[in-house]
Amino acid sequence: MAIQANQIFVNLPVKDLERSMKFFGEMGFDFDERMTDNNATCMIIGQNMYAMLLVEDFFKSFTHKDIADTSNSAEAIIALSASSREAVDEWVEKAMAAGGSSANEPMDNKFMYSWSFHDPDGHLWEVMYMEDEAFE
């Protein structure tokens, strides 16, 4: 039997929790106030998908490893699917308007369209749309 999770929580270190909440709030994301305090917030990405934004010192309490320096390395690419090519553009344009930075130019691979941005802490987010026909 294959292992399947019911939910996903991606934990990301942030330098300034208020700034991160403002950035993602301007993009249109909501937060679960029951899981929000001075150290962390739970950003609701979608059904059963969450990003825990953790102040760096609090994040460090969960690991003995150093936090990645996102100015010169990537710790992960967080890819989110959108409902259309237009939605991809809308999400990334909102990220840029809220203070994010471009990670690359839009990539059009016919059946898949994507565009990436960095949030204020340098985490790399990719927004993508794949046509259903690509899997038929």
Interval 71-127: pLDDT, tens: 999 899 999 999 999 999 999 999 999 999 999 999 999 889 999 999 999 999 999
Find, among 51, 13, 18, the residue nearest to 37 by Cα. 18
At the fourth CATH level, which superfamily is domain 1-61? 2,3-Dihydroxybiphenyl 1,2-Dioxygenase, domain 1 (3.10.180.10)
Q: Is the pLDDT of residue 135 over 70?
A: no
pTM for this one? 0.91
Four-residue CA torsion sign, 12, 17, 19, 20 = positive
Interval 37-69: pLDDT, tens: 999 999 999 999 999 999 999 999 999 999 999
Say which CATH topology domain 73-136 has.
Answer: 2,3-Dihydroxybiphenyl 1,2-Dioxygenase; domain 1 (3.10.180)
What residue spans define the domains of the chain? 1-61, 73-136
The whole-angstrom separation of Cα 20 and Cα 59 is 15
Residues linked to residue 52 through DSSP beta bridges, in sequence order: 11, 42
Q: Is the pLDDT of residue 136 over 70?
A: no
Per CATH, 1-61 and 73-136 having the same topology is answered yes
